[in-house]
A and B are shown apart, each in its own frame.
Chain A
Amino acid sequence: MKRTRYALTVVLCLFALGTLGYYYAFASDERLPPFQLVTVEGDAKEGAALELSGTYGGRMYSKPLIVTTEGSVYRLQETLAEAVLDSRSWLLELPGLKEIRKEHPNFMRGKSSTSGWYEDEEKLIYADAVVSGGQSRTARLDADLLDLKSGKTSRFSVPLPDQKYDFAYTEDVQLVGDQLHVLVAQRKLEAGSANLPTVYVDYVLNLSDGSLIDRKKLAFDWKTTPGASLQISVVTEGMATAPSDSVILQIDEIMQKQVSEHVAAELKLLNEKLVSYSYSTDEMKELPSLFKPGDEPYRVFNTLDGNVLTSLRPDDDADQLEWTRTDLTTGKQLASLSVTGEQLGAQDIGSSFAVDGRIYVLLYPTRLNVPESMQDDGEPTMAAVLDADSGKVLYRGKVVSVDPKRSAEKELKQLQLNNLNRRE
């Protein structure tokens, strides 16, 4: 009798520990299939920088995953710790800002703009246009400077002369000699404001005392079609902190209709131009664009690497990609090339982007524009890296199912990879 006195508690302990232990050791594992990017041709090091992301659909809910040359990682339920630790990863892991966070963490504190950074061998600068307050709002320009040699920091804040705007956003920061150029996009928010243009102003500050010495409003001399408006965006830099003498603006002429007080429905892209603005000469120059009449918005993807502008344009059927490379210092076109999906061993071209003199391309084995029933499923998604100046294939790889116990064809059918990124 005495031996069984504590049996209830012992059994309960064993039952709880055993069942939960088994659950977390075996049953909670979703046993999702592993995939891997393997080299078909070229330099495996180029492939090691690639990251393909998408979903695996062989379960009730699709499972987001990332496939690399090392294998696949499923992004499953976020833990409480990850929710805090990864909360600002989109900002803190950005190329250029990641390095600043590591090397100058105290300088980066509280700074959230991705386009307000400038860095050269001597200085690290952050500038941000701020509109604060409600009715009695004030617009100002804050700038923080870190002398990389002495480690000294300085800060100045100047009120912006244009106080009538409700919204101000820093688009670019560059240093020319002793003058700090801050390109600010400003806009009013009021009834029917969707058709009000955004004004771009280059504020010039004296770096030695922080005084505002000039302001240059960028004028876009473009007659628009009646009912259309201009939408301006700054072409992004591959590296958020990179120094450059000029900024590239993409100007889209869009026919649009106001659907509510602040929201406009985009209807049609009528024209698209690329304009470079030089901070040192104030000169605005139109650049050749890959835009073709009938293109959808964002068809042409422009990116800036230092002083080289790369423009990418997939064709309507997604089976060909063309691109140009222009040296903005000399105005010389470095390359005007194209490649088809078939040349790269696939059918259609998915996403593509240009960084560091390379073109990165996601490739699909089947045609995207044919009915699902006619698609030849089970073929692997591919990725390629091309030299942007010569078009030479540096790397070509395909995604494979690496578990020999599973049907590769069945698992690949469930895999949808839609994005291609470069790992830093």
Chain B
Amino acid sequence: MIRYGKLVHMEVRRFRYFLLGMMGLTLVVQVAALIWKTTGEVHRLRAGGAPVPFFGFDKLTFTWAVFNTQAMFALPILVSAAGLALYVFLIWYRDWLGRGTFAYRLLMLPTARRNLYLAKLTAILLFVFSLLAFQLLALPIEQGIFNLIVPAEMRMDSYFTDIIQANQAFSLLLPLSGAQFLYQYGLGVICILVAFTAVLLERSFRFWGIGYAVIYATACIAAFVVPLLTLGFDRDDAYLYPKEIFGILTAVIMVVAAASIGLGFRLLSRKITV
């Protein structure tokens, strides 16, 4: 357990500047977009421009600002998401491609090798959730900046949930339903497990491993997508009932997760080469 914690910490330390960079990029781009949009509108209103009603309200709100800067608010989030998606692979390859024999040293640590796997998975999840948490924290800061720019007589308060729903990226990444958050990120975790196992297949069998990895990832995707498309949950004349289709999909997901973890642990302890 202690070794696992130390390995997680090592992964966090290795990624800390990238993580801070993503957070900084998010704040800078969103604040810049907010200032640009809001000051422009305040100047227009002060110059005698007619207020443009926003969902029935004439006054400016922070929700209005977020709604009208869709792309600029979403851009740093998408860049961060793409960066983290790439890092799911790099978190393994940097051990092999880095200085000297770092992967060798990691594999020789006096601890179960599965701790390496779990530490990398934990680190990725921690980065994802930290960025989400940072976005949640950034919104009140940005709302404060909005309040500083817009005079009190021109603005009115926003509901926090309206702000989340005002941007498509927010409502996708931070669903208001806790259950949806668990389903969404639960599926995300399984995608990471499949990617990890694919990387370990490639590291274990090298040239042939590329083929194995592609086959494995394709099989996992097909195992989920084929029943989803063929069992016809949205077809009125489907043979199976929705509850049965849901049961099958849940079982498939569990099998994919168990197979990925089991195969990953086995490859890491028996097959991997440096």
Report A's interface with B, CB cutoff 8 A: 5-6, 8-9, 12-13, 15-20, 23-24, 27-31, 57, 59-61, 76-77, 79-81, 84-88, 91-92, 101, 105, 109-112
Contact = CB atoms under 8 A, between A and B. Distances in A.
B12 interface: yes
Interface stretch (B32-40, B91-99, B172-180, B211-219): B172-180
A131 to B, nearest CB: 14
Nearest to B240: A109
A20 B177 contact: no
| Contact size range, B | 35 or more
B223 interface: no
A20 B165 contact: no
Nearest to A32: B161
Interface stretch (B131-139, B149-157, B193-201): B131-139
Contacts of A8: 9, 12-13, 16
A85 B242 contact: yes
A9 B8 contact: yes
B147 to A, nearest CB: 18
Interface string B174-191: 111111110110010000
B242 A60 contact: no
Given A76-B176, A112-B237, A81 B159 contact: no
State the main secondary structure of chain B at its contact with A: helix
B77 to A, nearest CB: 16
A61 B126 CA distance: 32
Given A13-B126, A18-B133, A81-B183, 15 more contacts: A8-B13, A15-B133, A20-B136, A24-B178, A28-B178, A60-B166, A79-B183, A81-B246, A87-B233, A92-B241, A92-B242, A105-B241, A109-B241, A112-B236, A112-B237
A49 B170 CA distance: 39
Contacts of B207: none
Given A16-B133, A28-B178, A111 B242 contact: no
Interface in B1-60: 5-6, 8-9, 12-13, 16, 55-56
Nearest to B133: A19
Contacts of A13: 126
B249 interface: yes
A77 B176 contact: yes
20 contacts: A6-B6, A12-B12, A12-B126, A13-B126, A15-B130, A20-B129, A20-B132, A59-B159, A59-B161, A77-B175, A77-B180, A79-B179, A79-B180, A81-B246, A87-B233, A88-B234, A88-B236, A91-B236, A105-B241, A109-B239
A6 B5 contact: yes
Contacts of B208: none
B239 A84 contact: no
B9 A6 contact: yes
A264 B178 CA distance: 47
Contact of A77 (B159, B177, B233, B238): B177
Contacts of B239: 109-110
Contacts of B184: 80
B237 A84 contact: no
Nearest to A105: B241
Contacts of A27: 136, 160-161
B118 interface: no
A31 B160 CA distance: 10
A6 to B, nearest CB: 5
Contacts of A15: 130, 133
Contacts of A24: 178, 181
Nearest to B182: A79
B241 A79 contact: no
Contact of A61 (B16, B165, B243, B249): B165
Contacts of B243: 85
Contacts of B13: 8-9
A80 B183 contact: yes
Given A59-B159, A60-B162, A112-B236, A12 B130 contact: yes
A84 B233 CA distance: 6
A84 B246 contact: yes
Interface in B242-269: 242-243, 245-246, 249
Given A87-B234, A92-B241, A23 B136 contact: yes
